[in-house]
Amino acid sequence: MHPELDKLEKTFKPSILTKIDDPLLDEYQLELWMKRDDLLHPVISGNKWRKLKYSLEQALSLGADTLISMGGAYSNHLHALAYTGKLLGLKTQGFIRGEQPDTLTPTLLDLQNWGMELTFVSRSAYRGLRHYKGCHDLPGLKPGQYWLPEGGAQALALKGVAELVNEIAIPYDLLCVPCGTGATLAGIIDAVPKSVFVSGFAALKNAGFLKTDVEALLPRPGAPHWDINLDYHFGGFATTTPELMAFITDFEYKTNIPLEPVYTGKMMYALYDLITKHTFKPGLRLIAVHTGGLQGNRGFTA
């Protein structure tokens, strides 16, 4: 690995496996664990580091001096990218979805403070940017500029995600992960032992397209051991309900594990709901990946 990335990774905390102690799980004879990628780093947290690591390595080996990407006003991806760019001494630029707000969100303020150049683009222009998947694909790129697609979802992301799977040292039956672009899910599908079933939980409404997107990212398409649950979007991306927020508060109170309502909170709600509906056979060991993104909580009031 590039020495600068190696140095950075050495500052990270371990992503431990935490067993969830809850009488409800005993009642249904299930074990539930969390893979705590949220603990890796306060900013470059969760799946952000997993997805960025090998793209950053490629950027550095190509001699890039600028990282360019896209995201929303609360983007965890841009947040991690801006901070990492600052640490690595690379310039960063972000295309932000929608009009510039009168007051910048806490996330956008962080991006600005960490030196990211922000360009606000219309929603239709933003959708257009989604077509550029490869690091050289963005039209008008200058020498030294490296493009990362939305959420860092490119083939190299899968290599980093595989590392989280390889850290799991106990046998298990089901691995669960929240989905935005589906890149983290794809990395997990490709890396788990074939005896393990992988369930993605879509954070977006009408996310049927994700199945095709994930297939397209898989180096070995057609794998039978995965699915995506589309039923727990709570009305849409970043939309919440009092019930979801109450679940998150209660979960943190019981386990001391903070969640956020965009990704991991929805997945954990879904898992508990599915457990009480007898979806999982007694005796199974489930692992849920905490993908971090806790900075996004600043966009929600309790």
Ligand X SMILES: Cc1ncc(COP(=O)(O)O)c(C=O)c1O
Mask for 109-148, x = binds ligand X (CB under 6 A): ----------------------------------------
Q: Is 240 in the site for ligand X (CB under 6 A)?
A: no
Q: Which of 15, 184, 199, 297 binds ligand X (CB under 6 A)?
A: 184
Residue 179 CA to residue 262 CA, distance in Å, equals 10
At residue 49, φ and ψ (nearest 5 deg) are: -65, -40
Q: Is 149 in the site for ligand X (CB under 6 A)?
A: no
Which residue stretch of 13-21, 190-198, 234-242, 291-299 sits at the interface with ligand X (rule: CB under 6 A)? 291-299
Q: Token pair for residue 215? A: 């297939």
Q: Is 181 in the site for ligand X (CB under 6 A)?
A: yes
Per CB under 6 A, contacts with ligand X among 253-282 are 263
Q: Is 46 in the site for ligand X (CB under 6 A)?
A: yes
Q: Which of 149, 160, 178, 261 binds ligand X (CB under 6 A)?
A: 178
Q: Is 36 in the site for ligand X (CB under 6 A)?
A: no
Q: Is 81 in the site for ligand X (CB under 6 A)?
A: no
Which residue stretch of 117-125, 236-244, 280-288, 289-297 sits at the interface with ligand X (rule: CB under 6 A)? 289-297
- Report the interface residues with ligand X, using CB under 6 A: 46-47, 76-77, 151, 153, 178-185, 263, 291-293
